[in-house]
Amino acid sequence: MFVESVVRWGAWSILLAGLGVSGGGCPSRCTCRPEAKEVICSGKHLNSVPEGFSSDAKRLDLSYNKLKTVGRRQFSGLQLLQELDLSDNLISMMEVEAFQGLSNLRTLRIKNNRLKIIPVGVFSGLSSLRFLDLSQNEILVFLDYTFKDMSNLQILEATENDLVFISQRAFFGLTNVVELNLDRSNLTSIPTEALSQLPSLTRLCMLRLTIPSIPNNAFRRLHRLRSLVISSWPFLDSLASNSLIGLNLTSLVISNCNLSEIPYPALRHLVYLRFLDLSYNPITVIQRNLLGDLLRLQELHLAGGSLVRIDPGAFKGLTNFRMLNVSSNQLSTLEETAFQAVGNLQVLRLDGNPLACDCRLLWVVRRRLRLNFDGFQPTCASPDAVRQRQFRDFSEKELPRLFTCRPARIQDRRPQEARVEEGTTVLFSCKADGDPAPAITWISSQRNVISPTGRIRVLPNGTLEVRYAQVHDSGAYQCLAGNTAGNDSLTVGLFVKGVPRNRSIPIFIDESWIEPTHMTQTANSSSQMAKPYPFDAKTLIIATTMGFLSFLSSVAICFVFMFFWSQSKGQIKHTATIDFVPRSSMGGGGDGGDGGRFTMKLI
C-alpha cells in the first residue's frame, strides 16, 4: 500500500511540478506536495539529508538513497513531522539526539540499513512515536534505556538483525508497546528480563531463533500477552512445564520446531486459548483427554507433523472445537470418538494422510458435503478398491458397501491347554483377523493385562509366552482381540506341576536370570524364590579366601609405606607457605612487595 501511494504521489508530483505548482521550501531533487504536506526524496541518490524543507511538512520520505549517517538534531526544524522514512539507505551511524525536536513524529522507519549499534539517547525526544521499524539492520545488542523516552511506542519491529543480546533494561520505558517482532536474530536464550519491562505487550512474535528450550517462567509479567508466535526454532525440542506460566493467551503458535510431543503440561492453564498451531513438529500422537483443560479451544493446527494416531477422546471436553487441521501427517484414520461433539466441527483438513477407508471414516465421508475441507479433499490410500479416490467422489449408494469394517475374529479356536512341569516354557497362540487389524490383549487369571516384557509376556505376533513356568502361574488366560467393529476372545488353560528341586531352576527377576543352586524347597514359596540365596559353599570359600588375601596385601603395602615414611621423617616439611601477588584492584595497589600469603599444613 505504501509503495503504491509513493508511486501514485510520484506521478502526481511530476504532474504538479510540470505545472509549476511545487510550493516554496522544497529541496531540489525532492518532490513536494504542499496540500498533503509531503516531501518525497525517495530514490534520488542523496548522500546526505538535503536542506530547505518547509517547516510544516508532515511526511518526509528519504528512502532508497545513500545516506550514511544521521547527525545530531538533523531534523530539528520539522516540528510538525509525523512520518519519517529512512529505509533502504546505508545508515551505519546515528548520533545521539538525532531525532530531537520531532515531538510529533508518529512513524519512524529505519529498515534495511547498516546499523550495528544504537547509542543510548539516539531516540530521545520522540515522545509521540507510535511505530518504529528497525528491521533488517545488523544490530548486535539493545543497550539499557535505548528506548526510554518512547512511552507512546506501540509497535517495535526488530526483525532480521544480528541481535545476540538484549540488555535487561533495554525496553525500559516502553510502557505502551503492544507488539514486538523479533525475527531471525542470534539470541541464544529468551530475553525474559527485558521482555518483562513491556507491561502492555499483547502480541510477541519470535521467529527463526536457535534457542533449544523454553525454561520455566520464560515470559514473566506479560499479563496482557494474548498472542505468542514461536516459529522456526529448529532446535526447540522441549517446553518446561511452567514455561508459559503467567500468560493468558488466546492464540499460541509453536510451529516448525522439533517438538516430538504436544507440551500438555505447559498448555494446561491456558483456559482462554482459542487458536493453537503446532504444525511442522515431529509430533506422533494426540493423546486422549489431555487437551480437556483448554475449554475454549476452537482451532488446532498440526499440519505437516508425524502424527500416526489421534486417540479416542483426544478432544474430549472441547465443546467449541470447530477446526482441525492435520493435513500431511501419517494418519490412517480419525475416529469420531476423538471429538466431544462432531456436529460442531466445521473445517477438517485430513488430506495428505494415508487414510484407510473403512467404517471408522464413515462419519467423515457421510459429512463430505457439509464439512469444509478447505478445498483439499481427503483421499483413500487403502483398501485397493478405493485407492486414490477422493471423498467427494463417493456416491451415497456405494458407501455402505465400501466404508465397512470386519469385526475381529480369532482364527484358530481349538482349545489350548498346557500341562507342564515347573521350569518349562509354554506358548499360547492367538491370531485374529479383521478390518481394521485387531489389537490383541492377554489377561491373566488375576485379571491383569499382560505386558510385552517380563517372564510372562505377549510376543509381537500376539502369542502369549510363559517362560520357566511356576506353579503359581497356573490358571486361565484370556486372549482378547478387538477392533472398532467388534471383539472376540479365547481362553486357554495352564497347569504347572511342581517338581522336587534337585536340579537348578533359574528364576527370573527384573529381566535377568538367577541360578539358585541350593533350592531344596518345593513349588511353594514365591517369596523365597524372589530372594534366592545367591552363593553356594564353594563360592563362599573362594570369596572369603580372596578377600583375606587382598586384606593381607593391603596391610603389607601399609607397612611398606610406614617404613619409608619413618625413614624420611625429619626431612619432610609439614607446612608449606605460598606467596602470591593479588591482581591490582580498582584503586591500583601501589605498594609493591606486599602480596598475599597463606600457609598450608600437611598432614
Ligand X SMILES: *[C@@H]1O[C@H](CO)[C@@H](O)[C@H](O)[C@H]1NC(C)=O
Provide the CA 57 distance to its chain's centre, in angstroms. 48
Q: Beta strands 439-443 and 475-483: pairing type? A: antiparallel
**Shortest distance (Å) from residue 232 CB to ligand X:** 11
Cβ contacts of 172 within 8 Å, gap of 6 or more? 144, 145, 147, 148, 197
> Rounded to an integer, what distance in angstroms lies between the CA atom of residue 453 and that of residue 474?
19
**Long-range pairs for 502-505: beta carbons < 8 A, 24 or more residues apart:** 505/422, 505/423, 505/468
- Is the Cβ–Cβ distance between 279 and 255 less than 8 Å? yes
102/430 with CB nearer ligand X: 430
320/463 with CB nearer ligand X: 463
**Shortest distance (Å) from residue 571 CB to ligand X:** 58
99/373 with CB nearer ligand X: 373
DSSP string, 258-278: --SS--HHHHTT-TT--EEE-
> What are the φ and ψ backbone dihedral angles of 385, each rounded to 5 degrees?
-60, -25
The residue type found at 211 is I
**Shortest distance (Å) from residue 484 CB to ligand X:** 7
**Shortest distance (Å) from residue 480 CB to ligand X:** 7
| Alpha-carbon dihedral sign for residues 455, 460, 464, 468 | negative
**Shortest distance (Å) from residue 301 CB to ligand X:** 5
Report which secondary-structure segment, H or E, holds 5. Answer: helix 2-18
> Rounded to an integer, what distance in angstroms lies between the CA atom of residue 603 and that of residue 598?
16
37/501 with CB nearer ligand X: 501
> Rounded to an integer, what distance in angstroms lies between the CA atom of residue 114 and that of residue 336?
56
- Is the Cβ–Cβ distance between 293 and 316 less than 8 Å? no
**Shortest distance (Å) from residue 311 CB to ligand X:** 14
| Alpha-carbon dihedral sign for residues 126, 132, 138, 142 | positive
**Shortest distance (Å) from residue 579 CB to ligand X:** 43
**Shortest distance (Å) from residue 305 CB to ligand X:** 10
33/226 with CB nearer ligand X: 226
Single out the residue of 157, 158, 122 nearest to residue 140, CA to CA: 158
459/576 with CB nearer ligand X: 459
210/241 with CB nearer ligand X: 210
Instruction: Check whether the bond before 436 is cis (ω within 30° of 0).
Output: yes
**Shortest distance (Å) from residue 319 CB to ligand X:** 17
148/288 with CB nearer ligand X: 288
87/255 with CB nearer ligand X: 255
Where do contacts with ligand X occur on this chain (CB under 6 A)?
A: 140, 162, 164, 186, 226, 234-235, 237, 248, 250, 258, 260, 272, 279, 301, 303, 325, 327, 347, 349, 374, 429, 431, 459, 461, 463, 482, 486-487, 500, 502-503, 524-525, 527
